[in-house]
Amino acid sequence: MKIHFHYSLHGFSNVYLVGNELTGDAFVVDPADFTRDILVAVEESGWYIRAVLVTHNHEHHVRGLSTLRSIYDATVFAANASVGGQSCRVVRDGERFEVCGMRAEALSVPGHSSDSIVYRVERVLFTGDTLEAGAIGSTLSRYGGNLLRQGLAQKVLSQDESCVILPGHGPPSTVLAERRFNLGFDPALKRKESERYDFFV
């Protein structure tokens, strides 16, 4: 797996281009934009975009989808049947599937939005706006915040500590780092996790 990172000024969002160097197939996570730079990265790598993973249907994460699909015949995976006028292959919570020859799993983590999906591909977690380095996603209510924290604790922070987190905004992180230092969780939880992993310090 080889990952190219693109920073989109539209919404200050992260776009990830992920390629399988053995097959030449690639997928994009959250095409906030589909720019010349991304196209050059695809073509220079000799890849063909076969799929798109949409973490949630917010405009600043999917604006480039129609441009991408006008160039590549890519299957769009999302929690919705349609995103930006593009038909999608709907994924459910816990569903495992193959994308470009790589093992993937969809994890429903609502709270920031009702359709938020975290994708685990091999040992990488694409978290969209549910989780970023040191913080959790914004929500519209205390209920939404609690729902998001619960989902993240059960489905994301429970993953192997070495898994890499690639969020929709901000720098990358790891599961272990977020267990120990994410400010969006209850201090008691952080204290418990810190005590549990003190031997790594």
**154, exposed or middle or buried, with CB in 10 Å at 0-12, 13-18, 19+?**
exposed
**CA 127 to CA 124: how far, in whole Å?**
9
Would you state the pLDDT for residue 114? 84
Query: pTM of the entire structure?
Result: 0.89
- Rg of the chain, C-alpha, whole Å: 17
Q: How far is CA 64 from CA 10, 98, 117, in A?
A: 10, 23, 19
State which residues form the domain around 178: 2-200
Looking at residue 99, which CATH number applies to its domain?
3.60.15.10
Q: What percent of the chain has pLDDT over 70?
A: 92
**CA 74 to CA 114: how far, in whole Å?**
24
Question: How many CA atoms are closer than 13 Å to the CA of 16, on its beta-carbon side?
Answer: 24
Q: Which segments of 22-141 does DSSP mark as H helices, in order?
A: 36-45, 59-62, 65-71
**CA 200 to CA 194: how far, in whole Å?**
10
Would you state the pLDDT for residue 155? 95
**43, exposed or middle or buried, with CB in 10 Å at 0-12, 13-18, 19+?**
exposed
Would you state the pLDDT for residue 198? 44
Pick left, alpha or beta for residue 147 (phi over 0 → left; psi -120 to 50 → alpha; otherwise beta).
alpha
DSSP 199: G
Would you state the pLDDT for residue 10? 76
Domains identified in the chain, total number: 1
Residues of the chain with pLDDT under 70: 186-201
- Reduce the DSSP state of residue 188 to 3 states and report it: helix
